[in-house]
Structure 1
Amino acid sequence: MKTETVLCITALTGACFAQSDAETSIWERERLAGDLFGVRNTLGSHGMDLRLEATNFYHGDLDGSGPEQLEFGGKLDLFFAMDGQKAGLWPGLFLNVHGEYRYGDASAQAGALTPVNAALISPRDSDDVFAFTNVVLTQAFSESVLLSVGKFNTIDLADRIFLGGRGVEGFMNTSFVAPPIAGRTIPISTLGAILSVLDEGKPLFNIGVLDSRSPLTGSGFDGLDDDEMTFLADYTFYTKIGGLDGTHTISGSYSTIDAFSLDANDYLRPPTGPGIIPTRQGDSWQLTYTFEQFLCQDSSDPKKGWGIFGILAVSDGNPNPFETSAVLGLAANGVNGSRPNDNFGVGFFWNGVSSDLKKTVRPIARVQDEYGVEIFYDAEIFPWFRVGADIQWVRPVLANNDDAIFGGLRTRVIF
């Protein structure tokens, strides 16, 4: 199997087999704990890697209809990856595990429908809780065909060059991390199977089936029911404009889910109360176009540079609370030569609330489309320690609520 194909599989599965930095200065090593007294070197020799990340937030509602206070919260992310061949099993086998422990308070929503801190909605948006949100086995049948099965963390799957980031790096608002137009039928963590096709080591085409109902804090290994299945597919085009890389992805999903229009889900908490009569709706679909285009690109590292990005999406609008969604922004991975590992981004998002949802909640609330702007800067202090600042202006979905400003700091340590 060619090296570039193995690297692509590694990226798809989230695996990262780090070399030992036991002899590196504590200020220069990639991970604070270094080689863990030889443990990582031993694991690495058997095709395994263990990584722990701790991200803390001091973030909240600075102005609006919320409590106008900063709150502390955070999460620990545990990653384990295995290359089956190096572990003594068989070629082409990969295992990827992601465990999450969430603690503290989430930012007050101030009437916003889309969570402003994506990191703190998984494994649950409140309380202290731990769960394995990703346990996936991948088998490469050739240099271009892979099959992955297990429990998927779909926020991990949404990671891109300028978008994604799980909320612990890059943008924090869910609209940029994992666009919520698909959140009604594609949970954060759920069972499924995905077949992937590569082209010269790059992801080209994916098709899969997922459970529409989320077993976030449980195993979920009770099988798929025919009335709660989501079928999804995407195709990616690769372009070069002026020698600069760009990607264009068309994706869509169809779900057999049978649900009420006001059912809460992993991403969203629609308004509810006395006098509301929710409608029950079967099946749901959505289509999404996503692009990223570099404006300048580091010749030594093609993932670094400045670029623009955008998302356009449409859905059936019931039971999905959004009919349309759009995102547009500018971001940088590596701000300049003196700050090559700092990240920056500014983006606008707009989520068009479905007419069905507006009619349903009219007895208790006037609902409007939700949109906003987010700006962040994430600075590398040491390779294993980052500090970021984030501010968001949001016009919330509840029309009687004031426009809200959210902001704060976050720190991230890689052990």
Structure 2
Amino acid sequence: MPVRLFSRPVLTAALLTSASLPATAWAQDQGPKFSFGFTTFADAPIEGDADDDARYSWRADIKMSYAEIWSGGSISGHFEYNDGDDIVGLGEGGLVWPTNTFATLPALTSDNQTTLSLTMTQQFNNTTSLSLGKFNVIDLAEATPLLGGQGQGGFQYLGIGAPSNFVLPPYIFGGMLTVNYAPMIYTLMIYDANNAQGEEFWDDLFDEGVVYNGTATYTTQINGKPGFYSLNIAHSTKKGTDYESLLLSPSDDAFASTKDGVNYTGVSFQQYLWSDPQNPMVGWGVFGQVGFGDGNPNPLDEMFLLGVGGNSPLYGRSSDRWGLAWSKYNWSDKLGEALGAYGVKLRDESAVEGFYEAALTENWRIGGNIMWVKPSFESYDDYTQVGFRIRATF
């Protein structure tokens, strides 16, 4: 039962409310740019009910951008490939969220281990831009300064590194309008409700629903330190299982019926406590998020996230990244009642993760992390994992 309820459909509903900060900012220089990345992971469970064998995986990333192809026009692309052992999460060890997001995607959400994201952006003026195409939502999360680390090392547990609320799949097809009127940044995303991978997705585009996802971000400085404070509201027209109907007799015509619309509202912040006077986006600070799902058909009632991290404060190590965070996902009470009727005891999933990633050279990085997770299913013991990673970027 847990594996069926929280497998691919749940993962592909991951929400990243930090999408209000554009991931394509790196593509603003004129002309073509390429980036090649290779990362290896070794993750070892040391406590819990998951298989205690170490999990080895690797991934390759090729990123491309070409700015000013025409006046104000640019293209960005990201090709991904990953391979390796099975991940912990999606029911394994009683956990819902995977313990290594980068070892999970794109393989676990499609029929193969590769995917290509490609977007076209038109910059109309200094304040307004429109992007269309297939977006990698993990890239949007990584683009944020403190929680995401701007792609230079971050959290691996999906419930922390890519805060989720079931209205934003990991890959989306649609559009994103961004309006930047300092100190406000407004973002409206409209996209297909399903994950943008596989042949069936392209054949049934927008057939199962559309998502309207808006974010308003207030940018400010406190004692000269940058801060970002966001309000996110999202509505999906896609139908979901009505959890109350699962309490009916299987012979009832309304048993396992559906309910229209999935909703989420959340607030989040990232505030620097220290930053380099010469480069304010280099530093460390605190971040957090509080979100509310509708509880039916959204399987989420509330989620909470709080952490600290950023660039290393150690002398001469400003290129290193570090972080410590806690998250908690309160699953829908109605979902819990429905599962309880079938003997499955659902509880809230909470986790703590810490990591440090050191820059060995301009191109090579090495890091480690440790996490503790209280699984979503009561029949499983608390889970602890240590991890190691090596990353090369050229």
For Structure 1 versus Structure 2, the TM-score category normalised by the shorter chain is 0.7 to 0.9
Residue of structure 2 in register with 1:104 after alignment: 84
User: Hey, what's the Cα distance between the residues in 2 that align with 1:14 and 1:222?
Assistant: 31
Residue of structure 2 in register with 1:292 after alignment: 270
Q: Match for 2:372 among 393, 396, 399?
A: 393
Aligned to 1:176, the other structure's residue is in SS state helix
Matched-pair contact (CA < 8 Å) for 1:103–1:128: no
User: Hey, what's the Cα distance between the residues in 1 that align with 2:108 and 2:161?
Assistant: 15
Residue of structure 1 in register with 2:154 after alignment: 170
Matched-pair contact (CA < 8 Å) for 1:55–1:168: no
Q: State whether structure 2 residue 169 is matched by structure 1 residue 187.
A: yes
Q: State whether structure 2 residue 235 is matched by structure 1 residue 254.
A: yes
Matched-pair contact (CA < 8 Å) for 1:168–1:412: no
Give runs of aligned pairs for residues 21-40 of structure 1, distance below 5 A: none
Q: State whether structure 2 residue 381 is matched by structure 1 residue 412.
A: no
Matched-pair contact (CA < 8 Å) for 1:321–1:357: yes
Q: Match for 2:348 among 369, 372, 381?
A: 369
Aligned to 1:214, the other structure's residue is in SS state coil
Q: Match for 1:142 among 125, 131, 135?
A: 125
Matched-pair contact (CA < 8 Å) for 2:304–2:328: yes
Matched-pair contact (CA < 8 Å) for 2:94–2:380: yes
Q: Which amino acid aligns with 2:241?
A: F
**Closer/same/farther in 2, CA of residues 278 and 411 from structure 1, 3 Å limit:** farther
Residue of structure 2 in register with 1:60 after alignment: 44
Matched-pair contact (CA < 8 Å) for 1:131–1:217: no
Residue of structure 1 in register with 2:12 after alignment: none
User: Hey, what's the Cα distance between the residues in 2 that align with 1:61 and 1:309?
Assistant: 27
**Closer/same/farther in 2, CA of residues 225 and 351 from structure 1, 3 Å limit:** same
Deviation at 1:64, TM superposition (A): 0.3
User: Hey, what's the Cα distance between the residues in 2 that align with 1:105 and 1:138?
Assistant: 36
Aligned to 2:139, the other structure's residue is in SS state helix
**Closer/same/farther in 2, CA of residues 385 and 326 from structure 1, 3 Å limit:** same
Q: Match for 1:330 among 288, 296, 308?
A: 308
Q: Which amino acid aligns with 1:358?
A: G
Aligned to 2:280, the other structure's residue is in SS state coil
Q: Match for 1:120 among 103, 110, 128?
A: 103
Matched-pair contact (CA < 8 Å) for 2:240–2:298: no
Matched-pair contact (CA < 8 Å) for 2:87–2:99: yes
Q: Which amino acid aligns with 2:73?
A: L
Q: Match for 1:384 among 351, 363, 366?
A: 363
Q: Match for 2:33 among 40, 43, 49?
A: 49
Note the alpha carbon deviations across 1:334-369, whole angstroms, 9 max, x for none. 332221111111111000011122122211310100
**Closer/same/farther in 2, CA of residues 73 and 232 from structure 1, 3 Å limit:** same
Deviation at 1:68, TM superposition (A): 1.4
Deviation at 1:11, TM superposition (A): 5.8
Deviation at 1:221, TM superposition (A): 4.3
Deviation at 1:177, TM superposition (A): 2.1
Matched-pair contact (CA < 8 Å) for 2:287–2:308: yes
Deviation at 1:329, TM superposition (A): 0.8
Deviation at 1:246, TM superposition (A): 1.0
Matched-pair contact (CA < 8 Å) for 2:134–2:196: no
User: Hey, what's the Cα distance between the residues in 2 that align with 1:57 and 1:218?
Assistant: 29
**Closer/same/farther in 2, CA of residues 209 and 222 from structure 1, 3 Å limit:** farther
Q: Which amino acid aligns with 1:312?
A: V
Deviation at 1:372, TM superposition (A): 1.2
Deviation at 1:224, TM superposition (A): 4.2
**Closer/same/farther in 2, CA of residues 312 and 372 from structure 1, 3 Å limit:** same
Q: Which amino acid aligns with 2:56?
A: F
Which TM-score applies when normalising by structure 1? 0.81
**Closer/same/farther in 2, CA of residues 166 and 353 from structure 1, 3 Å limit:** farther
Aligned to 2:52, the other structure's residue is in SS state coil
**Closer/same/farther in 2, CA of residues 311 and 113 from structure 1, 3 Å limit:** same
Residue of structure 2 in register with 1:199 after alignment: 181
Point out where structure 2 has 5 or more consecutive residues left out of the alignment.
Answer: 1-20, 244-249
Q: Which amino acid aligns with 1:192?
A: G
Residue of structure 1 in register with 2:4 after alignment: none
User: Hey, what's the Cα distance between the residues in 1 that align with 2:43 and 2:152?
Assistant: 13
Give runs of aligned pairs for residues 311-330 of structure 1, distance below 5 A: 311-330=289-308
Deviation at 1:152, TM superposition (A): 1.1
Deviation at 1:167, TM superposition (A): 8.6
Which TM-score applies when normalising by structure 2? 0.85
**Closer/same/farther in 2, CA of residues 167 and 340 from structure 1, 3 Å limit:** closer
Q: Match for 2:338 among 350, 360, 384?
A: 360
Q: State whether structure 2 residue 244 is matched by structure 1 residue 242.
A: no
Deviation at 1:165, TM superposition (A): 5.1
User: Hey, what's the Cα distance between the residues in 2 that align with 1:82 and 1:220?
Assistant: 27
Aligned to 1:365, the other structure's residue is in SS state coil
Note the alpha carbon deviations across 1:112-155, whole angstroms, 9 max, x for none. 111111112211228861111x2110001111110111111112
**Closer/same/farther in 2, CA of residues 339 and 320 from structure 1, 3 Å limit:** same
Deviation at 1:67, TM superposition (A): 1.0
Which segments of structure 1 move beyond 3 Å, counting only runs of 4 or more? 14-18, 165-168, 217-224
